[in-house]
Amino acid sequence: MPARVYLVMRIGYYPREYAMAIDLRLIRYAHSVAANRSFNRAATALGIAQPTLSRSIKQLELQLGLPLFVRSAQGAEPTDFGLMFLKEAELVVAQVADLEQQVSLVKGLKSGTVALGVGPYVAEVVVPICMARFAAAHPAVGVRIQLDAPDALGRALRARSVDLVVAEASMLEEDEALEVIARLTPMRGYVLVRAGHPLLSRANVTLADVLDYPLVQIARMPPRALTPLLQRRRKTSANAGTAFPAIECPTVPLALNAVLNSDATVMAALSMAQGELERGLLRPLLHEPWMSSNWAIMKLRRRSLAPAAKAMVADLERAHGEALARDLALCRAWDRRMRSKPGDSENLRRAAARGRSRPGSERRT
């Protein structure tokens, strides 16, 4: 039977108060819509279908007798009544989340769920390693993953819909409501292009040359990366009026597919495209010092982590260390090739295999 909460609300300017039994699930749904300002984003954060969320909010509005949101093409905005209702609902959601957290602390690693928010790059190289290890070590603990842009993940932390976030630190660390638990060693990024790209035949390619071609952006680009790109982008008739970035993709595989089938370029770590590199489908073209990851593990400030969440943090750090070791092996192999004449991909495959067989030694370097 769904849990119900008696929400006490003061109506208008009158001192009279009344209590109403409301399904806690519906309160959480409304809170998520308000936090995300979108039914689609809220449904993704909650892990439910958008039509299910819409029907649930409609059910809540019918029970209350007044609309909570104004829906438009731009998203969902609370009505005046919605603002009043959601102010009370936010307290309820926070209190219930804290109560659940305390129960988890008592139960330890015997049950519960860890909700993890990650960006698309982290999802590609760190999450698969971490999830395999965590699931094997803690089979009684469930894991829910939210893949989103850093700003959306910050909102999810504040709304208590996720326990941990691993994402671009520069977009979240200034938020006083959030706390950095651990910073992850940077992973080097390269400009990647398809084999046969016109720029591969040039010597001394610059970033300005790269930006004459369409750029594929993965999720939202942080200002620390966007600024040097805008500074180097030439104002020429060739790119006048063209979109920048040309394509925005929510995941790394979608971005790589776009690059494989066009003259577009993308920035990513080599380990994110290891299969395509080994098959000779993609080539690293350029690296500059600012092209690197800046990931941090974060939580809501002043919120205690349950034992399961603490175990997840440890596994995330170990998984990142393993991913970094493999990436370093690929970087060294390609750096040698980029400094010498082009050859086949056999040396790359051997170097990558050596990196996989000695992750500990690569990590220490």
pLDDT (average), residues 183-202: 95
Confirm whether 328 is domain-assigned. no
**What confidence score (pLDDT) does residue 91 get?**
75
Residues 6+ apart with CB under 8 A from 229: 207, 211, 215, 221
Residues 6+ apart with CB under 8 A from 128: none
**What confidence score (pLDDT) does residue 196 get?**
93
Confirm whether 263 is domain-assigned. yes
- Same domain, yes or no, for 199 and 262? yes
- Same domain, yes or no, for 128 and 201? no
What CATH number corresponds to the domain at position 19?
1.10.10.10
What CATH number corresponds to the domain at position 155?
3.40.190.10
- Same domain, yes or no, for 211 and 248? yes
Give residue-wise pLDDT tens across range 265-308.
999 999 999 999 999 999 999 999 999 999 999 999 988 888 88
Which of 92, 118, 147 is the last residue in one of the domains? 92
Confirm whether 101 is domain-assigned. no
The torsion angles phi and psi of 145, rounded to 5 degrees, stand at -115, 130
- Same domain, yes or no, for 21 and 83? yes
Report the alpha-carbon distance of residue 306 to residue 133 in Å, rounded: 18
- Same domain, yes or no, for 209 and 281? yes
Confirm whether 99 is domain-assigned. no
Q: What percent of the chain has pLDDT over 90?
A: 49
Confirm whether 253 is domain-assigned. yes
Confirm whether 364 is domain-assigned. no
Confirm whether 97 is domain-assigned. no
- Is this prediction's pTM over 0.85? no
- Comparing C-alpha atoms, which of 185, 193, 187 is closest to residue 330? 187
- Same domain, yes or no, for 305 and 181? yes
**What confidence score (pLDDT) does residue 237 get?**
53
- Same domain, yes or no, for 78 and 13? yes
Mean pLDDT lowest among 10-19, 44-53, 74-83, 239-248: 10-19
pLDDT (average), residues 223-251: 82
**What confidence score (pLDDT) does residue 358 get?**
40
CB 320 within 8 A of CB 126: yes
DSSP code of residue 220: P
Give the chain's mean pLDDT.
83
Residue 228 is encoded by which pair of tokens? 């040097």
Torsion sign (Cα): 237, 238, 241, 245? negative
Mean pLDDT lowest among 136-140, 206-210, 339-343: 339-343
**What confidence score (pLDDT) does residue 119 get?**
93
- Same domain, yes or no, for 36 and 114? no
- Same domain, yes or no, for 58 and 68? yes
Torsion sign (Cα): 235, 236, 241, 242? negative
Torsion sign (Cα): 323, 324, 325, 328? positive
- Same domain, yes or no, for 230 and 281? yes
- Same domain, yes or no, for 313 and 196? no
- Same domain, yes or no, for 53 and 175? no
CB 143 within 8 A of CB 116: yes
Instruction: Say how many domains are in the chain.
Output: 3
Determine the structural domain holding residue 225 and report its residue range. Answer: 188-235+242-289
- 241: pLDDT strictly greater than 70: no
Confirm whether 330 is domain-assigned. no
